[in-house]
Amino acid sequence: MSTGLAERIRAESARLAALCVACGECVRACPMTAYAAGVEAAAPNAVAAGMRDVLQDGEGTPEARAWIAACTRSGVCSPACPEGLDAAFMLRLAQWRAKGALGTPPLIPVKEDTQYSPKVKAFARLTLTEEEQAKWL
Ligand code: SF4
């Protein structure tokens, strides 16, 4: 992972986490909660707060980590966000971070994936201008 991209992930994580009010609407909308241990029994706002914690260098809660790991990029969460945040991108950032993309020990299981870094870059390109790509990737 390039230093620039790591900085970008940190900056976007901090920006979005500061705007998130942890209302839990993204969790309520998510079709994957049934496949994430403990999430359906947990309060949605607590799960969202745990996801936000991961974006802020924390470890989240077990339920938040299970939710982050279960994300399949359905994108259903983004239109559900009353704050107009790209919740799907937040989950993506949280998943990268939880997998140790910033050099910290993984918080969720990581499958050996030789294409992990190229995939992160490919996804990041979708959200960056050409100028930002030149700077960050
Ligand atoms: S719906 Fe939006 S504001 Fe509410 S917890 Fe999810 S990302 Fe945060």
| Predicted confidence (pLDDT) per residue in 8-28, tens digit | 999 999 999 999 999 999 999
Confidence of residue 118 (pLDDT cuts 50, 70, 90): confident
137 or 89: which carries more pLDDT confidence? 89
Q: Which atom of ligand 1 is nearest to the CA of 22?
A: 5
Q: What is the pTM assigned to this prediction?
A: 0.84
Q: How far is the CA of 12 from the centre of ligand 1 (A)?
A: 15
Which protein residue's CA is at the shortest distance from atom 2 of ligand 1?
A: 81
How far is residue 122 from each of residues 21, 46, 47, 71, measured CA to CA in Å? 29, 31, 28, 18
**So what's the pLDDT on residue 117?**
74
Whether the pLDDT of residue 115 is over 90: the answer is no
How far is residue 83 from each of residues 4, 42, 87, 89, 130, measured CA to CA in Å? 28, 22, 10, 14, 27
Q: What are the extents of the domains in the chain? A: 3-136
How far is residue 95 from each of residues 108, 122, 132, 135, measured CA to CA in Å? 8, 15, 22, 23
